Amino acid sequence: MSTHNKRWYLRHPVVVIVLAQLFGTSLWFSVNGVALSLERETGLTDAGLGLLTVAVQAGFITGTLLLAITGLADRFPASRLFAAAAVSGAVINAAFIPVAGDFSLAMALRFATGLCLAGIYPLGMKLVVSWTPRHAGLALGWLVGMLTLGTALPHLLRGATLELPWQAPLLLASLLALFAAVMVRALGDGPHLPATASGGRPWSGLAAFRRRPFRAAALGYFGHCWELYAFWTLAPLLVLRELGRLDLSPQWMPWLAFGVIGIGALGCVLGGRLSRSQGSLRVARVALGVSGALCLIYPLLGEAAPLLLLGLLFLWGLTVIADSPQFTTLASLSAPRDRLGAALAMMNAVGFALTLPSIALVMHLWGDWQLLVLWLLLPGPALGIWAMSRARAVDYQTQR
């Protein structure tokens, strides 16, 4: 890399990290983006798609637990771990293509993809804090916004490649992950955290849970996770339902599903900006309250105008993720500095473990319950709102 380009990287580290996050996390729902094609060519069912999604989540949980238990998240430079994970994820995602018809092998490869994502998302958060600790709420808003767009990106890639075989968007996602690895490896780690730390001890991430402010932020995050990924998994089905009621072609589904999920990036960025004046705690409470209210009322409006329900899906997509960077900010403010990577990895591991039963439940019951499955998501926002009602902004300000 030339000296000029290196200087640009160092002047705009958050831009580099969030773009790498966007590209790297395109692996997360890459198979969901081609679900309709897989259903036609391999006989994949809605329940099978749910299991493939659960496999990714299980791999992510396993990976974050390994990072937290072993202390690897704080023992090695975050940029190196991120780059290695992105390269591995790109290769494994591409390897899904020839085995898509073998469900057992497909499950194994999606699990392995989740393992790699554990080196992208939590390490991306650590990289942001290492470069911009003073404006973590705003910067993490951009980071999680890119995670959201990365999650939605497979639907956009599929919409843009409808005339091409279903393998094309998967290969594009792998190529983007390789770009992510190059970008982060060239940037390196920021100067505001120790390069290596005592956090390398096994189970060091659990130390953060001794702090009451961290526990409150973590509980809020856990409730958020119960709702979030189940909603994202259901989003294409919810969109398809309204397209059927409007007598529109299912080919609109990838574009609208991308919009419903991707608009969450705007919610993250707006939430990050608001956090500078309103505080992360207040922003998290409001966003969680709105998405929780939609869990409750959306099934009651099932026979309302399809355009109204599509509009509510976009509102839900806007708010369902907006609280995530603020919970992470609150957690990072109250975690031990030398164990930040392990603490965030442990929080991610527990939060994503909660996505497994929620995704499995809603996908298993969707065929019989339809919109009523959304009520199964309601306990998540309820837990988060309860946890945040017990937290005080001063608890986090004193940790700075």
Q: Encode pLDDT of 274-318 as tens digits.
A: 887 888 888 989 999 999 999 999 999 989 999 999 999 999 999
Asked if residue 206 is part of any domain, the answer here is no
- Give the pLDDT of residue 394: 47
Residue 211 zone, left/alpha/beta (φ > 0; ψ -120 to 50; rest): beta
Average pLDDT over residues 312-340: 84
Domain assignment present for 320: yes
pLDDT of residue 319: 94
Count of structural domains, the chain: 1
Q: Are 31 and 169 in contact (CB under 8 A)?
A: no
Structure tokens at 393: 């902004």
How many Å apart are CA 202 and CA 282, to the nearest integer? 34
164: DSSP letter: S
Residue whose entry in the numeric block shows the structure tokens 């390069």: 195
Q: So what's the pLDDT on residue 8?
A: 54
Average pLDDT for residues 108-119, to the nearest whole number? 93
Report yes or no on 203 lying in a domain.
Answer: no
Residue 35 has pLDDT above 80, yes or no: no
pLDDT at 165: 84
User: Which runs of E-coded beta strand occur in the chain?
Assistant: none
Q: How confident is the model at residue 199 (pLDDT cuts 50, 70, 90)?
A: very low
Query: In this predicted structure, which of 1-15, 45-59, 138-152 has the lowest mean pLDDT?
Result: 1-15
Average pLDDT over residues 211-218: 84
- Asked if residue 263 is part of any domain, the answer here is yes
Residue 200 lies in a domain: no
Does residue 241 carry a pLDDT above 50?
Answer: yes
List the single range of 2-6, 22-26, 93-97, 183-187 with lowest mean pLDDT.
Answer: 2-6
**211: three-class secondary structure by DSSP:** coil
Domain of residue 315 covers: 3-188+211-397
Helices (H) and strands (E) in the chain, counts: 19, 0
Residue 400 has pLDDT above 60, yes or no: no
Burial class (CB in 10 A: 0-12, 13-18, 19+), 369: middle
Which of 174, 181, 68 is closest to 122 using CA atoms?
68
The CA-based dihedral angle spanning residues 313, 316, 320, 321, taken in that order and rounded to the nearest 10 degrees: 70
Q: Is there a contact between 271 and 287 (Cβ–Cβ < 8 Å)? A: yes
What average pLDDT does this structure show over 315-339? Answer: 83
Whether 53 is in a domain gets the answer yes
pLDDT in tens, 68-97: 777 776 677 888 889 999 999 999 999 999
C-alpha to C-alpha distances, 355 to 202, 230, 350, nearest whole angstrom: 25, 7, 9
- CATH label of the domain that carries residue 120: 1.20.1250.20
Residue 300 is assigned to a structural domain of this protein:
yes
Q: Please report whether residue 126 resides in a domain.
A: yes
